[in-house]
Amino acid sequence: MIKFENVSKIYPGNFAALENIDLVIEDGEFVSIVGQSGAGKSTIFKLITAEELPTEGEVIFNDKSVKSIKRRHLPYFRRNIGMIFQDFKLLPQKTAFENVAYALEVAGYTNEEIAEKVPEILDIVGMGSKAEKYPRQLSGGEQQKISIARALVHNPHVILADEPSGNLDPISTWEIMQLLLKINSLGTTVLLATHNKETVDKLRKRVIGIENGKVIRDDKTGKYII
């Protein structure tokens, strides 16, 4: 469970990225966070991964305040979370297989486990045949699928997808959404930040609307309305 308790994030220069946010996201939910660029969607993700700390209030992840996590424990904490980005953020010098394997290597999985899990997850995202390709040899949609495989491979509690379809064509976008729904149906919590109206309307899942750092709506099966 992820909980925001009266969270504000003020950047230097008195710029408030988030103001008095109260949110509860239950395990297994699929939540779309919508809003224009600069509304504060990415800041919410950064607070969950402890890349940033709240200026006020508490972010609770699985009953533990994110603020209280020691710096040296952050890598372990982050292994509970799978991240997907608009620009994929794959490691360019590594093949698709190695990119996915990296998430397991850093967590200390054995070589046998890696050899078993990586092909499995690449098959799930439909990229089994592209395992030996480098990111530059793949299309945007394919790169995003690899990035999803990387986020998923160590069975995280939560997937944070920050504009995952921002750079993709409509068909690839829908494929990615189908994948996220599939992941969610297997029990993983999915948080999707997007400003793609069509996608959100089709999903028919919970929608949280953010504007100027404030929650302006929170609908159980909402549509993209701002």
Which of 37, 93, 171, 220 forms a contact with another protein (CB under 8 A)?
93
Shortest separation between residue 75's beta carbon and another protein, angstroms: 4
Whose CA is closest to 84, among 176, 161, 192? 161
Residue 49 touches another protein, criterion: CB under 8 A: yes
Residue number, 72 or 220, with CB nearest to another protein: 72
Task: Provide the H-helix boundaries in the chain.
Answer: 41-48, 74-78, 96-106, 111-124, 140-152, 170-185, 197-203
Residue 136 touches another protein, criterion: CB under 8 A: no
φ/ψ (deg, to 5) at 115:
-65, -25
Residue 149 touches another protein, criterion: CB under 8 A: no
Residue 145 touches another protein, criterion: CB under 8 A: no
Shortest separation between residue 166's beta carbon and another protein, angstroms: 17
Residue 70 touches another protein, criterion: CB under 8 A: no
Residue number, 105 or 219, with CB nearest to another protein: 105
Which of 14, 37, 68, 110 forms a contact with another protein (CB under 8 A)?
110
Residue 9 touches another protein, criterion: CB under 8 A: no
φ/ψ (deg, to 5) at 203:
-65, -40
Residue 12 touches another protein, criterion: CB under 8 A: no
Look at residue 185 and give its three-state secondary structure: helix
In whole angstroms, give the CA distance from residue 119 to residue 100.
Answer: 9
Q: Bridge partners of 215? A: 210
Residue 75 touches another protein, criterion: CB under 8 A: yes
| Residue 37 buriedness (CB in 10 A; 0-12 / 13-18 / 19+) | exposed
Q: Bridge partners of 16? A: 10
Residue 91 touches another protein, criterion: CB under 8 A: yes
Which of 89, 157, 206, 223 forms a contact with another protein (CB under 8 A)?
89
Cα–Cα distance list, 32 to 18, 107, 120, 131, 193 (Å):
17, 29, 27, 30, 6
Which of 117, 145, 154, 205 forms a contact with another protein (CB under 8 A)?
154
Helix (H) or strand (E) holding 44: helix 41-48
* Strand ranges in 100-176 using DSSP code E only, listed in sequence order: 158-162
Contact window for another protein (CB under 8 A) among 1-9, 82-90, 124-132, 186-194: 82-90
In the complex, the residues that contact another protein under the rule CB under 8 A are 49, 51, 72, 75-76, 78-79, 83, 89-93, 102-103, 105-108, 110, 150, 154
